[in-house]
């Protein structure tokens, strides 16, 4: 893990996220194996160099015993990671409950949980209490490792309370908070019982960042409408203290993808895939198996396309790679069964003895396999119902400089604002429209593909994860709370 190599004289950065970039699995009383965790936050932050960064987060495992905690801490130290130990009950209430059952769907416009609404309302207070408790546990660990001059960068909806906890320890600590999901319209945020406390806790940060200008605007509106505070072009002002609010669109480490295409193993995989799907156009979906990714809608749109275009039946294949996440949450278990059922039905309907139209894999692929797949793809399908940004669309573009495939992209992904001019934008809820976009993409003339790809490739290679992090951290270092307070008093 060369990213955490600790070269001297660089800005020390404490990156705090719910999950560490590695997940631990216990092999014995004092032995552990560490695997890279899946997901966009980890992918983006692995692309960040040139800081003396340490990660603080949960290792994804319950470690009740002291020996286990000590040995795991030591192993993680080599990766420049510092664990926060959360017990099972806190994880259940904070992570599965408040974060993934309440905040995640709400921030993606899926509303508060529909089923069992009363039970949810009853358990809400205990889940929120666990959320605050967990955030305090993260704060304790940050505080223990903080040194003067460090910059603390808190990530995502799991840790909205953290800026407040950290500032209570040390008001001079430079604290930034970045949200990887959308921030919804204030009308949606307003339905959350803990709306006020959460907004106030985030406002304790010096800098609050979002992927897009729209999300930043929604946040400022929520602060003005719900808290009655003043929104200024720089951010939100509360009793003379200004919290800077701005958009920092994330990117990827595009060079890493481009270089990977030269690796012999990737080239071998490319050759195998080309042979395997010779004579057929390859369409690709790569997602965490999550309701926000619109996987059932995508597959139903593909079915509609097949229904309407018989001549394509044996000429196109959809590869859907869906890595399961949050497998303890019942909604996610239901989604898995639903996707399996639809895929089975469509393959039964349109498959032959020798070929099926959809290959669906419930698993994570390694980096090289992913790059090979991206590079042989003719059409990538990103149909998120909502998505903070969506890095898969960026990764696909980075790997397409020789093929110039087409990106079909949901207008509800943050990436639509950066890749919209090169992609075919669709409303993922409109299956007829997505089916038509599939036809348009498969039939697109080479000249138009080239033009669209050029636009996207330039964006992806000129807006990298590294620049994103540098921009955020330099803005954070520039916020001078005391001066702002003086000016406004
Ligand atoms: P995610 O919801 O995880 O991220 P995304 O941005 O697309 O979504 O990132 C997914 C990452 O996981 C990509 O790097 C992708 O390569 C990887 N991945 C997904 N499925 C995989 C599979 N089957 N095998 C291997 N790798 C796989 C959250 C927000 C996004 C936001 C990011 C970053 O939901 O909107 O873009 O954080 O801020």
Confidence (pLDDT) at 38: 64
Confidence (pLDDT) at 2: 34
Which amino acid residue places its CA nearest to atom 4 of ligand 1?
A: 40
CA 123 – ligand 1 centroid, Å = 30
Q: How far apart are CA 317 and CA 357, in angstroms?
A: 5
Predicted TM-score (pTM) of the model is 0.94
Say if ligand 1 is within 6 A of residue 295 CB.
no
Say if ligand 1 is within 6 A of residue 364 CB.
yes
Confidence (pLDDT) at 115: 59
Confidence (pLDDT) at 3: 36
Which amino acid residue places its CA nearest to atom 8 of ligand 1?
A: 40
Say if ligand 1 is within 6 A of residue 360 CB.
no
- Reported as a single tens digit per residue, the pLDDT across 456-466 is 999 999 999 98
18, 23, 38, best to mutate for ligand 1 pocket (most atoms within 8 Å of CB): 38
Which amino acid residue places its CA nearest to atom 19 of ligand 1?
A: 287
Question: Do 37 and 57 touch, CB atoms closer than 8 A?
Answer: no
3 state SS of 184: coil
Long-range contacts formed by 436-440: CB under 8 A, 24+ apart: 437/408, 438/283, 438/301, 438/302, 438/305, 438/379, 438/381, 438/408, 439/305, 439/308, 439/309
- Please give the share of the chain, as a percent, with pLDDT higher than 90: 76
Residue 473 has pLDDT above 60, yes or no: yes
């Amino acid at each position: 893990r060369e990213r955490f190599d600790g070269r001297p004289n660089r800005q020390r950065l404490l990156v705090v996220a719910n999950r560490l970039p590695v997940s631990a699995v216990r092999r014995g009383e004092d032995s552990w194996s560490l695997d890279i965790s899946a997901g966009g936050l980890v992918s983006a932050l692995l692309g960040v160099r040139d800081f003396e960064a340490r990660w603080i987060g949960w290792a994804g495992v319950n470690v009740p015993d002291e020996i286990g905690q000590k040995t795991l801490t030591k192993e993680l130290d080599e990766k420049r990671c510092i664990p926060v130990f959360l017990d099972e009950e806190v994880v259940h209430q904070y992570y599965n409950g408040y974060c993934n059952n309440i905040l995640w769907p709400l921030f993606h416009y899926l509303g508060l949980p529909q089923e069992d609404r009363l039970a949810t309302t009853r358990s809400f207070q205990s889940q929120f209490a666990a959320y605050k408790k967990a955030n305090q546990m993260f704060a304790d660990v940050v505080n223990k490792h903080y040194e003067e001059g460090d910059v603390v960068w808190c990530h995502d909806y799991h840790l909205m309370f953290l800026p407040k906890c950290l500032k209570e320890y040390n008001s001079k600590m430079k604290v930034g908070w970045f949200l990887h999901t959308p921030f919804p319209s204030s009308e949606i945020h307003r339905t959350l019982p803990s709306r006020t406390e959460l907004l106030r806790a985030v406002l304790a940060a010096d800098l609050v960042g979002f992927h897009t200008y729209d999300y930043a605007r929604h946040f400022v509106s929520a602060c003005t409408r719900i808290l009655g505070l003043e929104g200024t072009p720089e951010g939100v002002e509360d009793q003379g203290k200004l919290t800077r609010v701005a958009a920092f669109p994330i990117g990827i480490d595009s060079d890493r993808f481009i270089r990977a295409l030269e690796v012999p193993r990737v080239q071998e995989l490319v050759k195998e895939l080309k042979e395997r799907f010779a004579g057929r156009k390859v369409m690709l979906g790569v997602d965490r198996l999550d309701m926000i990714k619109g996987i059932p809608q995508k597959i139903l749109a593909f079915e509609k396309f097949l229904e309407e275009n018989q001549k394509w039946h044996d000429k196109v294949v959809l590869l859907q790679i869906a890595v399961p996440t949050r497998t303890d949450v019942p909604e996610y278990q239901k989604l898995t069964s639903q996707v399996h059922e639809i895929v089975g039905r469509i393959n039964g309907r349109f498959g032959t003895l020798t070929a099926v139209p959809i290959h669906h894999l419930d698993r994570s692929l390694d980096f090289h396999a992913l790059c090979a797949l991206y590079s042989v793809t003719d059409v990538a399908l990103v149909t998120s119902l909502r998505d903070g940004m969506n890095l898969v669309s960026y990764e696909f573009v980075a790997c397409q400089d020789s093929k110039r495939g087409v990106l079909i992209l949901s207008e509800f992904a943050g990436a639509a604002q950066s890749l919209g001019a090169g992609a075919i934008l669709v409303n993922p809820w409109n299956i007829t429209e997505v089916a038509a976009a599939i036809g348009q993409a498969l039939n697109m003339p080479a000249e138009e593909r080239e033009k669209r790809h050029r636009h996207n490739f330039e964006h992806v290679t000129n807006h990298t994860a590294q620049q994103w992090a540098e921009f955020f951290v330099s803005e954070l270092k520039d916020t001078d709370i005391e001066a702002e307070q003086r000016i406004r008093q």
